[in-house]
Structure 1
């Protein structure tokens, strides 16, 4: 997942090869921000599960790696383990290699770029293990934050040259050349390293220190066009590996999140953040009762100055928003709790990876209606799913 140029064309160029400029993007998302929003909301926590510190993904489309690693760190806490600050860029780097293989095999007819999905991190964890952040930062060229545009452009040009195949037959060296390009920017992967006085490989570190089972995690979504309680391939550009997710009823998205939180489990959340009802600066997301284009200027000015009525969300509307590109697979975040506003309305507490720059120091309060309408996928532990839904899914 990463932001789509069809939604925010003024913010970026060539989503296939250039990472978004995060600072400009946030300004675009907050066109309707309020200076009085925090005073207008009175949130009280109902559930707030333990998590690790807020990170900043910089100018990179790696929200999927940041949000999933944050989720896995909370999974370690849930299991009673000491949480490790995992390297977000290590699974991204491994995914880039696999994505390059896929791109060449598909003769360029598949998504590239630095976007991805939650299952990419789980798949890379299963195949390549894990590294601590202290061992692999991905900052191999003098920056203090991710800045991936040049790497994306160069690596794409390498793969495009391979696909054009000037020799007529692929050599066995193209993957080595492509991998060297990625490693020049992100750094070579250590075959072994020392962590807290003990030597590990990425695989042994995942097994002995992280200690999570990749098979414990599933993704769910909800669309009317697919059979309920069955798997389907979510057709979004960043699902380059064509992984499948389970289909549930729309209301079961939020009931599943609620069940997870009540039982101490957090949830990774993929969603559309191009909505007028999403304000990063104010740390609030909801679905306004009235369409933005029908609002007067006074209503627009008041959008984030306190709780507002919301539109009724139906499965038909959810399907329509996906079909007409109103809902796109923009961004991955991490649901870590539940709160109520002064009127008793419930919001999910969401951890983001854009640093501490908003009203709630890196967190957001998101209504259940927003989640119902704008969720593309959820990743969670199978044990966190309500027992009746889990039985229907067969997991």
Structure 2
């Protein structure tokens, strides 16, 4: 018994001695605007896509422009409301959305800088939409229940609510001494909404084809290009190496996705998850089949959208994506200056989709 105890102690000492804290080396680090917080809202889809477009503007023009996320949100809610009413309330109505919803808004309503759209904030100076959905849904349900008895038009009532809780729309403004409309401002940024492609990787649809991804937040029935998992990873790596950042939709419900530690990993079974966030830990090998199983059993859902701006390697050569989050920075709950270093294993398992400029694709995928 004493020999067994001694052996166990030696094994523990050996493991502790071999434990390595993470040591990252930056490989690619592309230009991005400063991190801001989405506050008490479910509008990560607008914050992340706006950040993605801000990096695209830097790439295309060299200009650093802080875009208004709430202008995009303000112009997307009427589309959500229309979908809900026309489906007679038999559809999800929530704060959630996807990257292509922001792109659709940009195509129809242009862009405006953050300084010109007067977004509504609470007394703490943050975005707070805690009552927005309930207020909107109550109005829409009243119309759906008795449309002939509804005293005004639901569209007008929705716009009034949005004006009060998000901000009033604008048609013209001045930026750096020049007068713009939202569409002329879009033209100045060189952003072409038709240049951006949503890509995913699932087995229930044929590869190298497009399909409507049936997830709850895809209220606008956006299409996704379906590729094998290795291609999805290679598209991201190729894009970053060529100077293109990447929009990301993924699941962040895992205990090993930690904003506090600024890390997202998939340790092998049996590993101490808390310890894995501070010391280098072996990760699972993620297959296409396992990825599909986790999606179909709801372990992987479209929780959150973020923005990939580069990648790093740890001391063992493992790739981690530098992911810009929208939960703020420099607080007790947010580490790594608001960024999350996401391992390739986590990306392979938990990514729902990406969005990237068409020029970042491999030639054979473009064709």
| Alignment TM-score > 0.5, same fold | yes
Q: How does 1:51-130 map to 2 (within 5 A)?
A: 51-130=32-111
- Counting only pairs closer than 5 Å after superposition, residues 176-187 of structure 1 correspond to structure 2 as 176-187=156-167
2:184 counterpart residue number: 204
Determine the C-alpha separation between the residues in 2 that align with 1:92 and 1:173.
21
Structure ID, larger Rg: 2
Aligned counterparts, 1:352-371, within 5 A:
352-356=325-329, 357=331, 358-371=334-347
Tell me if 1:155 matches 2:136. yes
Shift of 1:160: 1.1
- Deviation string 1:302-360 (CA, Å, 9 cap, x unpaired) is 12122111111111111111100000000000000010111111111111111113221
| Bigger mean CA deviation after superposition, 79-88 or 263-272 | 79-88
SS in 1 for 2:356: strand
Indicate whether 1:348 and 2:327 are aligned: no
Aligned to 1:252: 231
For residues 238 and 301 of structure 1, the distance between their equivalents in structure 2, rounded to whole angstroms, comes to 31
- Aligned to 1:40, the other structure's residue is in SS state coil
From 295, 303, 306, the counterpart of 1:333: 306
Partner Cα distance (1:311, 1:226) in 2? 25
Determine the C-alpha separation between the residues in 2 that align with 1:207 and 1:359.
Answer: 37
Q: Show the counterpart of 2:172.
A: 192
Shift of 1:40: 1.5
Give RMSD over aligned pairs. Answer: 1.5
| TM norm structure 1 | 0.85
Query: Using the alignment, how far apart are the partners of 2:324 and 2:158 within structure 1?
Result: 34
Asked whether the equivalents of residues 282 and 304 of structure 1 are also in contact (C-alpha less than 8 Å), the reply is yes
Match of 1:35 in 2: none
**Aligned pair count?**
345
Residue 143 of structure 1, CA deviation: 4.5
Query: Unmatched 5+ residue regions in structure 2?
Result: 1-19
With over 3 angstroms needed to count, the CA separation of the structure-2 counterparts of 1:261 and 1:166, relative to structure 1, is closer
**Could you list the per-position Cα deviations for residues 20-45 of structure 1 after superposition, in whole angstroms to 9, with x for gaps in the alignment?**
xxxxxxxxxxxxxxxxxxx8111110
Structure 1 residue 220 and structure 2 residue 196: aligned?
no
More displaced, 178-187 or 66-75? 178-187
CA drift at 1:152: 1.8
Q: TM-score, normalised by structure 2?
A: 0.91
**Partner-residue secondary structure (3-state), 2:254:** coil
In structure 2, how many angstroms separate the alpha carbons of the residues matched to 1:362 and 1:40? 20
Q: SS in structure 2 opposite 1:199? A: strand
Rounded Cα–Cα distance in structure 1 between residues aligned with 2:356 and 2:104: 14
User: 1:79 aligns to what SS in structure 2?
Assistant: helix
